[in-house]
Chains A and B, each alone.
Chain A
Amino acid sequence: MRKTYKLYIGGAFPRSESGRSYVVNDAKGKFLANASQASRKDARDAVVAARKAFGGWSGKTAYNRGQVLYRIAEVMEGRHDQFSAEVAASEGLSAAKARAIVDASIDRWVWYAGWADKLAQVVGSSNPVAGPYFDFSLPEATGVIAVLAPQDSSLLGLTSVIAPAIVSGNTVVAVSSFERPLPAVTLGEVMATSDLPGGVVNLLTGSASEIGPWLASHLDVNAIDLCGIEDPDEARDLEAAAAENLKRVRRPAEEDWSASPGLSRLTQYLELKTVWHPIGV
């Protein structure tokens, strides 16, 4: 039986409110499916869902968030064949190479899952101020993150940009690769069955060029990752629009998704809070 590929917003799977869909072909140009083509309204609905989920998700213990991310990896493992087939078709890879991509994606979820309860120890600090005060700094989630996911790497790239955002408590509105959206939809189905609260990740299939400007200028979005934008002029315009409410912006850059990710994407979506209290009897 063939699957209907839908959006993933607030834990549900709606079609685009615009009623639009577009044809998704495999790497050789053969028809694969019709995907929902998300609209401005879908993006705004997704931001509302992400904001609503933020308090609960960022308020969970780090241990709990780590468990949920780890659960995503477990559930992905059970859908290994489906992901492999979609990655192979979308990216034009051999079955073996596609399987390796899925393995790497699952490993990446596990890697980030483990960071949940270590991050504060690595990037936080206790600060030896010159006075009778206890002074410490802790990382906290930035808020709602818009992610324009990579266009080429449909699963490993997508995982590599979403996992570091949510592990620290942020919530995400992601626009998938336009030409290779199917692994993103399946990833949404995995998330829906992995104890990830609805709205923590919202996945839109469609055009980053069309939806990006609405997310970049949205005043309830706190940060934006532009890695799926390939045209430098477009990236510049989105960054300028994002300045309106001082969004934290990650500019597009050459990325090697197979390399060890390091901390930069994790720390990109963190705020540092410093707390002072007097010491005395």
Chain B
Amino acid sequence: MSRFEYAPAPESRAIVDIKSSYGLFINGAFTDATDGKPFKTVSPASEEVLAEVSEAGPADVDKAVRAARRAFERVWGPMAGRDRAKYLFRIARLIQERSRELAVLESLDNGKPIRESRDVDIPLVAAHFFYYAGWADKLEYAGAGEHPQPWGVAGQVIPWNFPMLMLAWKIAPALAAGNTVVLKPAETTPLTALAFAEICQQADLPPGVVNIVTGAGRTGQALVEHWGVDKVAFTGSTEVGRSIAKAVAGSDKKVTLELGGKAANIVFEDAPIDQTIEGIVNGIFFNQGHVCCAGSRLLVQESVYDEVLARLKRRMGTLRVGDPLDKNTDIGAINSSAQLAKIRELSQIGEDEGAERWSPDCELPAEGFWFPPTVFTGVSQAHRIAREEIFGPVLSVLTFRTPAEAVEKANNTPFGLSAGIWTEKGSRILWMANQLRAGVVWANTFNRFDPASPFGGYKESGYGREGGRHGLEAYLAH
């Protein structure tokens, strides 16, 4: 198929002002780490070093937790809900005002297309703060009894795939409920969290209410295991989630975990084909497939398999892979060399186990971390690419004949985060939605998110919900 040629349309990065080095944000001020070495954060699209960031050691984490405790006891806990709400509204407004800058910063540090950070991530960040701001003075209606109380200090650890959006999912409900926060952003994507620290300063948020400690796994471990943390919230891999669940065993800490997934995206023969192809593409290639709820297992009814595959491949041929700051880009950079290695390894295993691999012709930039959109056919349920989370732009295709078979295959996984259904038949949608053991079911759509909509998994995809009234409940004692 012939391709449209597009002139580059890069978003200017002049709008961001990245410092050469950043300290930790503790008790309202940026401070040097006392016991860790600085590390570098790079742009995955160019491998250019963006900034040097401090690694928080146990002593720094301790300082942050103590600051959060003081702020909880003296300021934030006793504050009237309506006043907490005003701070959250102010934060939401500041995010809107700085949205273009934050979008560029996110795309630089994470590698995601600017179209996505500009149109999805950052607007949702602001929306989350608006949504939970409104809850702060209505907690008695949240379903946690007439006198709901915050837990105290929340220790929160977030992933690199939606850095600022995950920050918003964690911080907004925690603060609305009256908790204070120590948050650790992912090692490879700390910059928007540090920009958020600045926003907290601009909002005159009382010192210690939000603390940001940068670092890698050890920093996160020190945080979740700290005795002064009352509530742990983690989004990331099932493996780390498991170790957190073990680490808090026997303590009084409350935990919510949002972990991995291997979602089935199920296409019936009567599905609206154009929307379905767009939905499949959005399901697996959105955010380079770095999405815990990605529709990474495509289940297609046998009777339409040939047509769906042909049209999917044709559509994949039009996807534009490249500069995240180019407004035409559909697929950006893989977030890190480690993640790229993992995607390559699992894809190689897919080939070795006998599945057939296909990618469109696409030229990948010489610098940076890149992986072409990829589809595997001839995949069986026993293949590792059908069972393990690849967390990249790699789709495994399986087939089915009957709805019952689709359900059985879809549920044949230890995960249970999300699922997709494509059919024009209403009763079948509702029947399927009933049968699927997954926390989010998208019917004739995929990868939709909203602050009012609870999100979270069944089984080994974790426990607890984020978003909506249910997301607030996780931060209230009841």
B453 contacts chain A at the CB level, 8 A cutoff? yes
**Contact at B470–A137, with CB atoms within 8 Å?**
yes
Q: A244-B242, A246-B460, A277-B429 are in contact. Are A129 and B448 (CB under 8 A)?
A: yes
28 contacts between A and B (CB under 8 A): A127-B454, A127-B468, A130-B450, A130-B452, A133-B445, A135-B450, A232-B250, A235-B250, A237-B250, A239-B249, A239-B250, A240-B245, A240-B246, A240-B250, A243-B249, A244-B242, A246-B241, A246-B257, A249-B249, A264-B478, A272-B465, A273-B438, A273-B439, A273-B458, A274-B454, A274-B455, A276-B441, A276-B448
Interface residues contributed by chain B, number (CB under 8 Å): 42
In Å, the complex CA distance between A242 and B255 comes to: 14
- Output the least CB separation between B453 and chain A (Å): 5
B440 contacts chain A at the CB level, 8 A cutoff? yes
Query: Which among A122, A239, A264, A275 is the interface contact of B433 at CB below 8 angstroms?
Result: A275
**CB-defined contacts of B249 to chain A, threshold 8 Å:** 236-237, 239-240, 242-243, 249
- With A125-B468, A129-B450, A272-B454 known, 18 other A-B pairs at CB within 8 A are A123-B143, A125-B454, A127-B450, A127-B454, A129-B453, A137-B470, A143-B459, A237-B249, A237-B250, A240-B245, A242-B245, A243-B242, A243-B245, A245-B414, A271-B439, A273-B458, A277-B443, A278-B444
Within B454-468, the residues touching A (CB, 8 Å) are 454-456, 458-463, 465, 468
**CB-defined contacts of B246 to chain A, threshold 8 Å:** 240, 243
**CB-defined contacts of B459 to chain A, threshold 8 Å:** 143, 222, 245-246
Q: A127-B454, A271-B458, A272-B465 are in contact. Are A277 and B445 (CB under 8 A)?
A: yes
A131 contacts chain B at the CB level, 8 A cutoff? yes
**Contact at B444–A274, with CB atoms within 8 Å?**
no
Output the nearest chain A residue to B456 by Cβ-Cβ distance.
A272
**CB-defined contacts of A125 to chain B, threshold 8 Å:** 454, 468-470
**Contact at A275–B454, with CB atoms within 8 Å?**
no
In Å, the complex CA distance between A148 and B442 comes to: 37
Q: A123-B143, A135-B453 are in contact. Are A272 and B439 (CB under 8 A)?
A: yes
A128 contacts chain B at the CB level, 8 A cutoff? yes
In Å, the complex CA distance between A82 and B160 comes to: 61
In Å, the complex CA distance between A90 and B242 comes to: 40
In Å, the complex CA distance between A277 and B420 comes to: 10
**CB-defined contacts of A276 to chain B, threshold 8 Å:** 440-443, 445, 448, 453
**Contact at A236–B250, with CB atoms within 8 Å?**
yes
Of the four ranges (under 10, 10 to 19, 20 to 34, 35 or more), the interface on chain A belongs to 35 or more
In Å, the complex CA distance between A240 and B249 comes to: 5
- Output the least CB separation between A247 and chain B (Å): 8
A218 contacts chain B at the CB level, 8 A cutoff? no
In Å, the complex CA distance between A277 and B425 comes to: 12
**Contact at A128–B445, with CB atoms within 8 Å?**
no
- Residues of B at the A interface (CB closer than 8 Å) are 127, 143, 238, 241-243, 245-246, 249-250, 257, 259, 414, 416, 429, 433, 438-445, 448, 450, 452-456, 458-463, 465, 468-470, 478
Query: Which among B433, B463, B478 is the interface contact of A248 at CB below 8 angstroms?
Result: B463
**CB-defined contacts of B465 to chain A, threshold 8 Å:** 272
Q: A233-B250, A239-B250, A245-B460 are in contact. Are A273 and B441 (CB under 8 A)?
A: yes
**CB-defined contacts of B444 to chain A, threshold 8 Å:** 277-278
Interface string of A250-281 (1 = CB under 8 A from B): 00000000000000100000011111111000
In Å, the complex CA distance between A236 and B253 comes to: 12
Output the nearest chain A residue to B429 by Cβ-Cβ distance.
A277
**CB-defined contacts of B441 to chain A, threshold 8 Å:** 273-276
- Output the least CB separation between A242 and chain B (Å): 8
**CB-defined contacts of A128 to chain B, threshold 8 Å:** 452
**CB-defined contacts of B245 to chain A, threshold 8 Å:** 239-240, 242-243, 246
In Å, the complex CA distance between A248 and B458 comes to: 10
- Output the least CB separation between B432 and chain A (Å): 10
Within A155-201, the residues touching B (CB, 8 Å) are none
**CB-defined contacts of A243 to chain B, threshold 8 Å:** 242-243, 245-246, 249
- Output the least CB separation between A129 and chain B (Å): 4
**CB-defined contacts of A272 to chain B, threshold 8 Å:** 439, 454, 456, 465, 470
Output the nearest chain A residue to B245 by Cβ-Cβ distance.
A243
- Output the least CB separation between B437 and chain A (Å): 8
- Output the least CB separation between B261 and chain A (Å): 13
Query: Which among B438, B442, B461, B468 is the interface contact of A137 at CB below 8 angstroms?
Result: B468
Q: A127-B453, A127-B468 are in contact. Are A274 and B439 (CB under 8 A)?
A: yes
- Output the least CB separation between A252 and chain B (Å): 10
In Å, the complex CA distance between A131 and B127 comes to: 13
In Å, the complex CA distance between A23 and B439 comes to: 46
- Output the least CB separation between B274 and chain A (Å): 14
**CB-defined contacts of A232 to chain B, threshold 8 Å:** 250
In Å, the complex CA distance between A122 and B142 comes to: 11
- Output the least CB separation between B361 and chain A (Å): 33
**Contact at B453–A274, with CB atoms within 8 Å?**
yes
**CB-defined contacts of A236 to chain B, threshold 8 Å:** 249-250
Among the interface residues B455, B456, B459, which one has the most CB atoms of the partner chain A within 10 A?
B459
In Å, the complex CA distance between A246 and B442 comes to: 24
In Å, the complex CA distance between A127 and B471 comes to: 12
Within A207-251, the residues touching B (CB, 8 Å) are 222, 232-233, 235-237, 239-240, 242-246, 248-249
In Å, the complex CA distance between A245 and B468 comes to: 26
Interface string of A90-116 (1 = CB under 8 A from B): 000000000000000000000000000
**CB-defined contacts of A242 to chain B, threshold 8 Å:** 245, 249
- Output the least CB separation between A222 and chain B (Å): 7
**CB-defined contacts of B443 to chain A, threshold 8 Å:** 275-277
In Å, the complex CA distance between A20 and B246 comes to: 33
**CB-defined contacts of A131 to chain B, threshold 8 Å:** 448, 450
**CB-defined contacts of B440 to chain A, threshold 8 Å:** 273-276
In Å, the complex CA distance between A140 and B452 comes to: 19
Q: Which 5 A-B pairs have the closest CB atoms?
A: A236-B250, A243-B245, A239-B249, A129-B450, A240-B249
In Å, the complex CA distance between A278 and B444 comes to: 7
In Å, the complex CA distance between A235 and B441 comes to: 35
In Å, the complex CA distance between A232 and B143 comes to: 30
- Output the least CB separation between B424 and chain A (Å): 12
In Å, the complex CA distance between A277 and B423 comes to: 11
In Å, the complex CA distance between A237 and B246 comes to: 9
In Å, the complex CA distance between A170 and B438 comes to: 16
- Output the least CB separation between A209 and chain B (Å): 16
**CB-defined contacts of A137 to chain B, threshold 8 Å:** 453-454, 468, 470
Q: A129-B453, A243-B245, A244-B242 are in contact. Are A278 and B250 (CB under 8 A)?
A: no
Output the nearest chain B residue to A126 by Cβ-Cβ distance.
B452
In Å, the complex CA distance between A249 and B244 comes to: 13
Output the nearest chain B residue to A219 by Cβ-Cβ distance.
B414
Output the nearest chain B residue to A135 by Cβ-Cβ distance.
B453
**Contact at A133–B448, with CB atoms within 8 Å?**
yes
- Output the least CB separation between A171 and chain B (Å): 15
